[in-house]
Structure 1
């Protein structure tokens, strides 16, 4: 497999603390990433290929509830050929959500807006995604041909399941596999609900952020493999996409260590399946520039 084949990082962040504070970085344990990170820094960090593929395209994802941040990310994508799509934020509860989305998309870089996200993991309402105002907002997202990134913790998976049931026309991608409790080794409930969610064909899943849920000091690929096995059997490779969650992954080993882990997890997959996870699924979901594929035998 040549170095010219596509590798899409479907989930990374950038922030400039001189321009816009990131209050979540003030939480204990975030000291190593309590500084600014640019897309150029990602280029410098992401030097390890996965199965011979070097990073060719990325999807940058919102961090805070801010339309101005979304505008900045769109402008960044417009000027940086590495970034192929933006997952932004807008207030789903606002009666003006449609107008806000139309305004974002009509701007000079609006074509890069491919999905929205809200930090549902921080919402205390156990039915937040089922609120009538939120559901109305999500319908507006879908009506404009956009997708929705679902950021939840494992105990919130029932919300995602109900969302998939009620809005089957809305393309969904589950960020970080729903944050399974890897460090506690309590995967039974997560796996059961994950499989239920995966029965809905409009749902995709990011193989990202998993090491953050493991023991930060002691994790190995063997801690991640049980989660990978569930994801592969539930979604299949054609509905999984690689993401780094950079620079958050700096807290647990960095981009290159996660890339090496993913390569090990993918051992036994065919060229076609490798392409799906490493580029094809993200390319289709976020409407990135198509990349070549390769035939082969199934994952073992």
Structure 2
């Protein structure tokens, strides 16, 4: 049994994905649906997934919840809502009452796109994150390395909030740099209410020339810092298709974790996601 704890879907006839700009991302400018993903996932033993928000549009989360209700592949949804809205507790409750609302497991905001590196520390955002925690939801955080210190301070300030670091905080794999990413990740992992995803790494490397060896130094740091019980596999499909097929991403992750014990691998590929997202 394998859980894919991070993937997306979109239909450009429903709405544009305005982040897909430029020639490098051009292959993503088409529809990617659960019907596309399901045969690929099931072929490699993935039987449950977590569907994660792509854009900051309120309508997307109810659509994802409905998808989860209709497809047994999707076990959980990480949606989006405005963390700064005054009535966020009511809004989270409303989302849970929608069709498929029981699949809502977390909230994510595109923090990586915020110009303020300390956006997470704003009083209105912290208030919203407190409401997320009080609702029993987690917060997936997608950031660039320079925004990691704000993640550390947020996790320390809100011990009841589980903070899930997407894509290991986007380490600079393509340039083979380590610091300050390593120091920031270790500081975050030192806090018990933090978890991280082994996801999105093939596209942080050079998409055309990456090797497993390019990724290994970063996954080793993550395994040492978080441990398998606080790490989970995610494909980041379809973004990963810029660099690798779905099967190649999973095979790569398995190669990077093949030195772990059977129990440790079970945590990375099922147990951590099942626990954190209450699947």
For the criterion TM > 0.5, the same-fold answer is yes
Inter-partner Cα distance in structure 2 for 1:145 and 1:128: 22
The match for 1:104 is 95
Q: How does 1:116-155 map to 2 (within 5 A)?
A: 116-155=107-146
Inter-partner Cα distance in structure 1 for 2:43 and 2:96: 34
Q: Pick from 263, 266, 274: which aligns with 1:272?
A: 263
Inter-partner Cα distance in structure 2 for 1:152 and 1:254: 24
How far apart are residue 48 of structure 1 and its match?
A: 5.5
Q: Is 1:177 matched with 2:168? A: yes
How far apart are residue 255 of structure 1 and its match?
A: 1.0
Q: How does 1:26-175 map to 2 (within 5 A)?
A: 26-46=21-41, 49=44, 54-175=45-166
Q: Is 1:194 matched with 2:193? A: no
The match for 1:298 is none
Are the equivalent residues in 2 in contact too, given 1:48–1:259 (CA < 8 A)? no
Inter-partner Cα distance in structure 1 for 2:74 and 2:41: 14
Are the equivalent residues in 1 in contact too, given 2:41–2:47 (CA < 8 A)? no
Inter-partner Cα distance in structure 1 for 2:143 and 2:111: 6
Q: Secondary structure at the match of 2:19?
A: helix
How far apart are residue 47 of structure 1 and its match?
A: 5.7
What CA deviation, in whole Å up to 9, does each residue of 1:118-143 have, x standing for no partner? 00000001210000111111111111
Which blocks of at least 5 consecutive residues in structure 2 are unaligned?
A: none
How far apart are residue 56 of structure 1 and its match?
A: 0.7
Inter-partner Cα distance in structure 2 for 1:128 and 1:83: 30
How far apart are residue 111 of structure 1 and its match?
A: 0.5
Inter-partner Cα distance in structure 1 for 2:245 and 2:171: 20
The match for 1:243 is 234
Figure out how many residues of one structure are paired with residues of the other and give that number.
279
Instruction: Indicate the RMSD between aligned Cα atoms, in angstroms.
Output: 1.0
Are the equivalent residues in 2 in contact too, given 1:47–1:256 (CA < 8 A)? no
Q: Pick from 15, 18, 40: which aligns with 2:13?
A: 18
Which blocks of at least 5 consecutive residues in structure 1 are unaligned?
A: 1-5, 289-300
Are the equivalent residues in 2 in contact too, given 1:206–1:241 (CA < 8 A)? yes
Q: Secondary structure at the match of 2:46?
A: coil
TM score, norm. by length of structure 2:
0.98
TM score, norm. by length of structure 1:
0.91
Q: Secondary structure at the match of 2:260?
A: coil
Are the equivalent residues in 1 in contact too, given 2:232–2:269 (CA < 8 A)? yes
